[in-house]
Amino acid sequence: MQAFTSITGLVAPLERANVDTDQIIPKQFLKSIKRTGFGAHLFDAWRFFDAGILGMVPEARRANPDFVLNEPRYAGARILLANDNFGCGSSREHAVWALMEYGFRSVIAPSFADIFTSNCFKNGLLPVVLPQPSVEALMRECKRSPGFSLSIDLDACEVQHADGRRFQFQVKASDRQRLLQGLDEIGLSLEHESEIKSFEARHKSRFPWLFENQPCRSK
């Protein structure tokens, strides 16, 4: 998993509440078992007028010029501003994969769905919860200021504005440490690889018959 320490990046505002995972990455794109190929279909029904299938390139599609991510000023955005209850709906991890592959490393919103939040921390996307008034103020500033960017420092747990303002946020200590170190659940387990191997050796020594090859018996 890619570690997250701090970023400074262009911000894109998505002024919609209750954005569910089917809107983030529609169900017809969930046929692949790989973690790649989803970024091109992020917010597919909003970004394009035509129906897409997995593997289609955006350049071959009919783009909706009124959707925020299709505006040239937001090209390359790394931080997404959203409204309440972002990531609700079904528990598809593909939604986080699509956001990250598109280029986002963090989403700032007043609230997130619980399972979406868990999937974020498993994959290296930082969900930042800020009060509604703060998010609304940043939305307004982002819309009126081309090139608007923010910095996010996970070590300090704060969003930093270019004018010096600081917005504090909270992250559970265990999730924060995992992101800083770039450790998913498998990575956390491998931190204890030597202890695991020692346990397996002791277990095999105490119960050797469990590890013997037994011939298959036909009825």
**pLDDT tens by residue, 44-59:** 999 999 988 888 888 8
For residue 1, pLDDT beyond 70 = yes
If DSSP codes are grouped into helix, strand and coil, which group holds residue 174?
A: helix
The position carrying tokens 């387990």 is 189
Question: What mean pLDDT comes out for the span 79-85?
Answer: 98
Cβ 29 vs Cβ 38: under 8 Å: yes
- Whose structure tokens read 């009060």? 131
The string of pLDDT tens digits covering residues 93-149 is: 999 999 999 999 999 999 999 999 999 999 999 999 999 999 999 999 999 999 999
Residue 73: the pLDDT is: 97
What pLDDT shows up at residue 23? 97
Report the pLDDT value the prediction gives residue 193, as an integer from 0 to 100.
Answer: 66
Domains defined for the chain, CATH in brackets: 6-184 (3.20.19.10)
**Bigger pLDDT: 2 vs 168:** 168
Q: Which long-range contacts (CB under 8 A, 24 or more apart) does 89-92 make?
A: 89/20, 89/21, 89/22, 89/23, 89/113, 90/20, 90/21, 90/22, 91/21, 91/115, 91/116, 91/119, 92/21, 92/22, 92/25, 92/30
DSSP run (H or E) holding 160: strand 158-160
Q: Is the pLDDT of residue 85 over 80?
A: yes
Q: For residue 151, what pLDDT band results from cuts at 50, 70 and 90? A: very high
pLDDT of residue 55: 82
Average pLDDT over residues 23-46: 91
Quote the pLDDT of residue 217. Answer: 57
What's the pLDDT at 163? Answer: 94
Whether the predicted pLDDT of 192 surpasses 60? no
Higher confidence at residue 175 or residue 205? 175
Q: Name the one residue in this structure whose structure tokens are 């910095």.
A: 151
Residue 188: is its pLDDT beyond 90?
Answer: no
Question: Which neighbouring-strand residues pair with 108?
Answer: 81, 128
pLDDT above 70 covers a percentage of the chain that reads 92
Mean pLDDT of the chain: 90
Helix axes 173-181, 114-123, angle to 10 degrees: 30
pLDDT tier at 190 (50, 70, 90 boundaries)? low
pLDDT value for 138: 97
